[in-house]
Amino acid sequence: MAVDSTLAVLVAVALLTGLFLTSRWAKNDKSPKPLKLPIIGDLHSSPIDRPMLNWDAWTRAQGPVGTPKLFGIMPFVVLNTAEAATELFGKRSALYSNRPSSVSMEMITDSAPSKSRMTLMHDYDAHLKLHHRMLSPSLGAVAAPRVQPLMELESRQLLRDAVNAVQGSGRTVMSSTELYTLLERTQASVILGLHYGIRVPSHSDPLFTEILRVQHKVTYVAANPSLVDFIPPLRHLPALISPWHRAANKLFVEQRDLYLRLVETAMNEPGWNATKQARAIAAKSPDTEAVPDLDLAFTLATSISGGMETSPRQTLWLLVAAHANPGFVAKAHAALDQSVGRDRLPQFTDRSNLVYIEAIVSEMIRWRPIAPGSIPRRADREDEIFGTPIAKGATLFANAWAIGRDEKVFDESLGGLDSFVPERWLDEEGKLRTDLPLAGFGHGRRSCLGKRVALDNTFMIVASLLWAFEVAPVGQVDSMAMEVAGFMTAPSEFKFSLKPRGKWVQEVIQREWDVSETDLNKLMGPWVDVETS
């Protein structure tokens, strides 16, 4: 979900995947077995199609705070309730705002220990605070009036592409892979447009293809820790005898050349974009030497990498939810017909009247968090919580899956916490509840900078899809069938029906697309420092 990302779980899933994939059911015993970890666990026999059942069972057995150890010596602390996560990552954030070191990720960004140029993995210091300040205006409320028209544009193209896909083939059945391709283009065009003023008109766009290729290489490194991650002194071996150095240097050069080229493109655009905004803020810093072009390029790349895969994968769960609770689709249609009508597409100006759509988005994120372990933190000194000791240097995770099922926080009277019930996000007056946690965006000072962008774009995509289509599964869909895709959980392949709600759908989509402004310099407006305007 935006800017919380493929990189939004860099080390988290490399290690946490082992935590929930290796806990398994015995063949003749339905009770959860003790947690088994990578290398020493039975990874090959893990039921990969439903890892969350095992992860959830294990965390419930552990209670509010779980404390596994990798290899029996590396301490982990897993926070399974909203209270525990808020206490440590919110109230005690000074002790828990740094990241565990990822040697591979530092090497592929040519960085010192705990100073990765991928800012998500950088320790929380003055350098990181400046880089956060450089990005915050572009990802927050002040830039929203510039970015939301871009989101509306890309949702229009999503609808046009989806209608063409189902009508051009003479069928209404699509696979989740087919829809993911459309969603991926949509999200990429929003993220690249926001950061660099670059549109992605098609999934085959050469620049988009290049970005995905490099991103997949980075993802592979992060998801497959090498020996140097477990024995950090190996990083000091000379490149001649170090396969890690040679591979890391090659990938660093690929990233550097691509990211600097993207920055150059953005700076040459006449309109507003996040690159220009970040550089303007850096220029106002009293220590401008702290932000060379290379660091700026990697900061922006971290942000785009974090946003490009999250929202598309999250949105796929909307189709699974339509099987788990088909009644919400009809309610959404009614809300959209009443507030938007059938002679135009949804807009952000409709948002205050589409609270039920907001509730669907929030429930989707709670019900199926795509990064169940969130981003890991490091304990900077010994501590304790609820009587559980925390060792200095321990790695901590906030378990978004368990937090979203915290009975002390979420009311079960409207439906069990394993059920998809958007109404749990509405108060007695029908307004959206903002007091409930969306744990997938993190906690405290290291929470996701791109939360506003993620929620805005997901709202527009969900509203648009439900305005246009009857959504229904084809055959049986196992709502717990999932797989680990990169660093995220995603539903296993399934098919569904995407049928236009009437002839008016294609007519309205085509009419609005024909008059859409696709020049991003015009769409997002001329350059102006939004921080001071």
Query: Which two three-digit tokens encode residue 512?
Result: 């609005």
Query: 256's torsion region: left (phi>0), alpha (psi -120 to 50) or beta?
Result: alpha
- Domain carrying residue 42: 7-523
Q: Which residues contact 124 (CB under 8 A, 6 or more apart)?
A: 97, 98, 445, 446
What value does the mean pLDDT take over residues 38-59?
A: 47
Q: How confident is the model at residue 51 (pLDDT cuts 50, 70, 90)?
A: low
| For the chain, percent of residues with pLDDT exceeding 70 | 86
Provide the mean pLDDT of the chain: 86
pLDDT reported for residue 242: 85
Query: Is pLDDT of 303 > 50?
Result: yes
Terminal Cα-to-Cα distance of the chain (whole angstroms):
29
Higher pLDDT, 176 or 31: 176
Residue 362: pLDDT over 90:
yes
- Report H helices in 169-292: 176-196, 206-223, 227-230, 243-268, 274-284
Tokens of 386: 């609820």
Examine residue 177 and state whether it is found in any structural domain, yes or no: yes
Distance CA 469, CA 497 (A): 9
Alpha helices in 285-393 (DSSP H): 293-308, 310-324, 327-339, 355-367
Q: Rounded to the nearest 10 degrees, what angle do helices 206-223 and 243-268 cross at?
A: 140
Question: What secondary structure letter does DSSP report for 487?
Answer: T
pTM of the predicted structure, to 2 decimals: 0.89
> Does position 177 have pLDDT exceeding 60, yes or no?
yes
pLDDT digits (tens, 9 = 90+) for 204-225: 999 999 999 999 899 888 777 7
User: How many other C-beta atoms are found inside a 10 Å radius of the C-beta of residue 533?
Assistant: 6
Q: For residue range 239-281, what is the model confidence (pLDDT) as tens digits? A: 888 888 899 999 999 999 999 999 999 999 999 999 999 999 9
User: Considering the domain boundaries, does residue 516 fall inside one?
Assistant: yes
Measured CA angle at 214 (ends 211, 216), to 5 deg? 105
In a domain, 530, yes or no: no
Letter for the amino acid at 101? S
Model confidence at 456: pLDDT above 90: yes
Number of H helices, E strands in the chain: 19, 14
The pLDDT of residue 12: 43
CATH of the domain at 438: 1.10.630.10
Q: Which residues, including other chains, have CB under 8 Å from residue 316's CB and lie 6 or more apart?
A: 176, 179, 180, 183, 490, 491
Residue 421 in domain: yes
37 domain-assigned:
yes
d(CA 120, CA 450): 12
**Does residue 412 lie in a domain region?**
yes
* Tokens linked to 400: 């978004």
CA distance 297 to 253: 13
For residue 148, give Cα distances in angstroms to 143, 287, 359, 471: 9, 33, 19, 25
pLDDT surpassing 50 at residue 14 = no
Q: Is 448 annotated as a binding residue?
A: yes
* pLDDT value at residue 101: 86
In a domain, 310, yes or no: yes
Average pLDDT over residues 114-118: 90
Torsion over CA of 154, 157, 159 and 162, rounded to 10 degrees? -120
Q: 69 has which bridge partners? A: 75
* 3-state DSSP assignment of residue 62: helix
Instruction: Give the integer Cα–Cα distance in Å for 473 and 176.
Output: 10
CB contact set of 268 (below 8 Å; sequence gap of 6+):
none
SS3 28: coil
The Cα 56–Cα 23 span in angstroms is: 10
Element (H, E) at 495: strand 495-500
By CB neighbour count within 10 A (0-12 exposed, 13-18 middle, 19+ buried), where does 450 fall? buried
Quickly state the pLDDT bin for 349 (edges 50, 70, 90).
very high
The pLDDT confidence band at residue 17, using thresholds 50, 70 and 90, is very low
Chain centroid offset of residue 405 CA:
19
How many whole angstroms from its chain centre is CA 73?
A: 31
pLDDT above 60 (res 44): no
Tell the burial category of 517 from Cβ atoms under 10 Å away from its Cβ (0-12, 13-18, 19+).
exposed
pLDDT in tens, 469-498: 999 888 888 888 888 766 678 899 999 999
- 183 falls within a domain: yes
How many domains, the chain? 1
CB atoms within 10 A of CB 481: 14
The closest of 457, 493, 458, 456 to 365, measured between CA atoms, is: 458
Tens digit of each residue's pLDDT (9 = 90 or more) over 134-143: 999 999 999 9
